[in-house]
Amino acid sequence: MKNARYAPLPMLMLLSVGCAQLPSRCSEADFAAEPKIDVHVHINSGSDALIEQARADGFRLLTINVDYPDFPPLPEQLALARADAQQHPDIVAFAATFSMQGWDDAGWQGRVQGELDAAFAAGAVGIKVWKNIGMEFRDRAGKLVMIDDARLDAIFEQVRQRGKVLIGHQGEPHNCWLPLEQMTVNNDREYFQEHPQYHMFLHPELPSYEAQMGARDRMLARHPQLHFMGAHLASLEWSFAKLAKFLDSYPLAQVDLAARMGQVQYQSNRDRAAVRAFFIKYQDRLLYGTDLTQEAAADSGTMRKEAHQRWISDWRYFNTGAIQKVTELAEPVPGLELPRAVIDKLYYRNAERLFGQAWKAKQSRGAP
């Protein structure tokens, strides 16, 4: 009796609840009502455009500080994140980071630990380590500092002790070690064309992809109690088999999807069943994120449109079987039609579990 199963539907729709209450699958129309979290954005200006669009589309955000020369100086990033989280506690949570400057000084570790505790006291739910560790930063002797350097252990242990999350972007997509014309997605090709200093194909003297992954894995093996979120599918975006092995090996590791949807879609266009099976099998370990970045110079309308289009396109891909054109690929992409329970985890339940009470209920605004 198919109809009986759907009988409560009209009343639920009247109450305007999300697809979380509906039988087994969300539609494109359920987008606005479903609770959603984008765990990887960068709000690098005082503009509220991205936050306003998040509110309109039913998103909460995790804005992440990064020691990236293209971004504002770290104290400015932290001040922006704190202000946004304070003004919009129901929408914005933040992760802090630290600078490698002064690494060779005896006081570096203590200073960083003090800064991190101050950031945690201000509400930071985690800290991010970036690819500058492993690809760019050199110690006084000229040696690249890798993520498994023993001097970083005390910092990662502090993150664990405080019950916070380490967000790690180590290495780069596998495409980074390939010539531009062999890269699988347009966004990687564009990024590495614009940032040749990070295009490892041009720098064979720097550590290999395998060396970057190996250092990250050794660090995680030394910190088995550390909650880790591997940004950008933990730089294993090119192989769901490798990513599965990584998740199996490190039970407290999760991964976000930020800026790697093209990679997911590239693979599902070749083996949709395998990619769909991966999302179902690892439904407790995957977090939705985009890498949307609010820059100081960005026009508000353009930012809002970019965010909305990205969020809608990804929602359509995960929830429906519709075929759509995406910017990352030349060929059109059919969607995965994931079950509702998987969508709920991908879009908010896993993030709520990992980051705890990061986002406050709206009524708590203004509370001490």
Q: Which residues bind Zn ion (CB under 5 A)?
A: 291
d(CA 285, CA 10): 33
Q: Which is nearer to Zn ion, 26 or 176 (CB)?
A: 176
Minimal distance in Å, beta carbon 258 to Zn ion?
Answer: 6
Minimal distance in Å, beta carbon 85 to Zn ion?
Answer: 17
For residue 98, give both structure tokens.
């630290």
Phi, psi of 287 (to 5 degrees): -125, 135
Q: Which is nearer to Zn ion, 44 or 184 (CB)?
A: 44
Angle at 14 between CA 10 and CA 19, to 5 degrees: 75
DSSP state of 46: S
Q: Which is nearer to Zn ion, 167 or 342 (CB)?
A: 167
Minimal distance in Å, beta carbon 124 to Zn ion?
Answer: 16
Minimal distance in Å, beta carbon 187 to Zn ion?
Answer: 12
Q: Which is nearer to Zn ion, 34 or 84 (CB)?
A: 84
Angle at 315 between CA 297 and CA 270, to 5 degrees: 105
In angstroms, what CA-CA distances link 219 with 159, 212, 255? Answer: 14, 11, 16
* Longest Cα–Cα distance in the chain: 74
Let me know if 25 is exposed, middle or buried by CB neighbors in 10 A (0-12, 13-18, 19+): middle
Q: Please check whether residue 287 is in contact with residue 257, taking contact to mean a CB–CB distance below 8 angstroms.
A: yes
Phi, psi of 64 (to 5 degrees): -115, 125
Minimal distance in Å, beta carbon 129 to Zn ion?
Answer: 12
d(CA 253, CA 129): 15
Dihedral sign for Cα atoms in the order 201, 171, 310, 297: negative
How many Cα atoms within 13 Å fall on the side-chain side of residue 177? 16
Residue 124, SS3 per DSSP: coil
Minimal distance in Å, beta carbon 291 to Zn ion?
Answer: 4
Q: Which is nearer to Zn ion, 38 or 291 (CB)?
A: 291
Q: Which is nearer to Zn ion, 283 or 293 (CB)?
A: 293
| DSSP string across 203-218 | -TTSPPHHHHHHHHHH
Q: Which is nearer to Zn ion, 31 or 288 (CB)?
A: 288
Cβ-closest position to Zn ion: 291
Minimal distance in Å, beta carbon 172 to Zn ion?
Answer: 12
Q: Which is nearer to Zn ion, 237 or 291 (CB)?
A: 291
Please count the other Cβ atoms lying within 10 Å of the Cβ belonging to residue 225: 8
Q: Which is nearer to Zn ion, 291 or 344 (CB)?
A: 291
Phi, psi of 267 (to 5 degrees): -75, -40
Minimal distance in Å, beta carbon 227 to Zn ion?
Answer: 19
Minimal distance in Å, beta carbon 312 to Zn ion?
Answer: 20
